[in-house]
Structure 1
């Protein structure tokens, strides 16, 4: 019963709505509310601030949720450990990823699923870096693939995967399309379509522009990778994208991808998991896969370049 009560409380904290939390737990709203009330009675402390609707958790409730997340994660890890000893690894692996890491995730899930055929994988893409770290901390995902150019808190550990570099994506009719490289200064003078400023990928671009003494002024901003490619296809805009996207989308007909220089910089990308002990079975297994998979050999090149011998 305690585990169920803790699950309901965590769901309520996540959904911030009684009806949605009940739906997420596959129970009725009265059943969820009653279970949380009983937990409050057992702990002799109010956990939820109640009014005409859900108003949030009390300070005590916030602290209890953190403990509950860890207890539930340890329970799940124990069940996974026992199951792995008995029949091999099974269950569900949850991976959070920034938008540019789609290619890297697929290069990890392929060998992982081959080694652990009883495991199903859920990939939660289009997350921001801070969302990945938060979801890892809250045990909502088992691992994340994100940027490593800034120091991680001590509560996380990482496995470097590859270096992300950048290309100017432009129409074949543009003069820069015939070049072997384009500078950031040259790109800044083009009508640009870029990611929105809230996204980590755009923040990295802004840092590289600033290193060249520039500040981009895109005419169009979007949070969609597909929208970037669609705008470049019109011939009216250019964009700067991570070269790894080309491994997923290719270079569409009528476009060219030109490597960016001056500055010629790369950004490290890697797998991130929590540093807590014991590490979950899923996170440990994916970490082992990452350490034995040469993601860089595939991704640190442009599509069409020969693979290394």
Structure 2
């Protein structure tokens, strides 16, 4: 039953029989058979079929909610039993907003010292993708904004509040400032993150509150691309100050703080809400609190 529920979760996520089968390492006929067997066991039709996947029926949608809960409980049980045998061990998958990658590294490093038998995979994703990946068990935890856009029912541990800095070349007029206001960027050649990134939406809102409508000459979902455009093309970008400091190190670039006038959005670790958490997730939430206290 658990395997068949995992097949349903994969199908709902991928919206395609072939991709769903590939994502969980089974053949497409095996997945189709498993879904049909699950329908037979439950006595309802779960999937709309035609020449291709047509979505879930209303019964399929309700089953998906139960499937996520049951599969999550089964995985927590396995983690609990492994902890009783081996102590804290395993593999943690974390999806992180691009602007928080340096904090993800800090979190993983500290956790790895305390728990050397736990390995990490860190993925860069936007905030919406992170929530979807958590819901579908594609990752175990995420690092995202905590109070800017709805998160749903998750556990959370605060890491830091975001403040901003402009990155520009040293000969740029802005480089001589001690601080920069949003209105000072009105006529600058900007390169910014893409609109699907929550950080970009936060920055857009700050510009609008200053009476500006910024137009980016270049957009990218990579902060490395933004820093390179500043260095090579003389553009200006705005990023969280901790990330700006990392990107200007060793480059012919400078960073200047931005006056925000109010506390920035909070960023932290999020994980599916569970009672109890698996030992490794509980330890990760605790480590996030330690990292936040040490900043």
If the length of structure 2 is used for normalisation, what is the TM-score?
0.92
Aligned residues: 295
CA contact (8 A) 1:142 1:282 kept: no
SS at match of 1:157: strand
- Partner-residue secondary structure (3-state), 1:207: helix
d(CA) in 2 for partners of 1:253, 1:112: 30
Question: Aligned residue for 1:132?
Answer: 130
Could you say which residue in structure 2 is the equivalent of 1:89?
A: 88
Asked if 2 retains the 8 angstrom alpha-carbon contact of 1:66 and 1:138, the reply is no
Cα 1:104/1:295, change in 2 over 3 Å: farther
Structure 2 Cα separation of the partners of residues 57 and 248 of structure 1: 45
RMSD between aligned residues:
2.0
Aligned to 2:161: 163
Q: What residue in structure 2 maps to residue 22 of structure 1? A: 21
Alpha carbons of structure 1 residues 141 and 26: separation in structure 2 relative to 1, 3 Å: closer
Structure 1 residues 70 and 247: alpha-carbon distance in aligned structure 2, compared to 1, 3 A threshold: farther
Q: Spell out, residue by residue over 1:131-166, the C-alpha distance to the aligned partner (whole angstroms, 9 max, x if none).
A: 223332333322211112337556223211112111
Contact 1:251 1:257 in 2 (8 A): no
**Are the equivalent residues in 1 in contact too, given 2:158–2:269 (CA < 8 A)?**
yes
SS class of match (2:291): coil
Q: Which residue matches 2:9?
A: 10
Q: Report what 1:231 is aligned to.
A: 229
What CA deviation, in whole Å up to 9, does each residue of 1:187-243 have, x standing for no partner?
Answer: 222111111222101111112112322221222222221221121112431111111
Alpha-carbon spacing, 1:123–1:85, altered in 2? closer, same or farther (3 Å): same
For the pair 1:69 / 2:53, whether they are aligned, the reply is no
How many Å separate the matches in 2 of 1:32 and 1:264?
52
Q: Distance in 2 between matches of 1:200 and 1:194?
A: 12
Contact 2:146 2:265 in 1 (8 A): yes
| Post-superposition offset of 1:84 | 0.8
Q: State the partner residue of 1:289.
A: 287
Say if 1:212 and 1:262, in contact at 8 Å, map to a contact too: no
- Mind listing any 5+ residue stretches in structure 1 that lack a counterpart? 298-309
1:242-266 Cα distance to aligned partner (Å, 9 max, x none): 1122354334532111111254653
1:296 deviation in Å? 5.8
How has the CA–CA distance of structure 1 residues 151 and 235 changed in structure 2, closer, same or farther, with 3 Å as cutoff? closer
- The farther-off stretch of 270-279 and 186-195 is 270-279
| Residue 117 (structure 2) aligns with | 118
Distance (Å, rounded) in 2 between the aligned partners of 1:256 and 1:117: 37
Return the match for 1:197 from 175, 195, 198. Answer: 195
Structure 2: give runs of 5+ residues left out of the alignment.
none
**1:36 aligned onto 2:27:** no
Deviates more, 1:245-254 or 1:79-88: 245-254
1:170, distance to aligned residue in structure 2 (A): 0.8
Contact 2:90 2:119 in 1 (8 A): yes
How far residue 128 of structure 1 moved from its aligned partner, in angstroms, is 2.1
- Confirm or deny that 1:249 pairs with 2:243: no
Specify whether residues 62 and 248 from structure 1 end up closer, same or farther in structure 2 by C-alpha distance, changes over 3 A only: farther
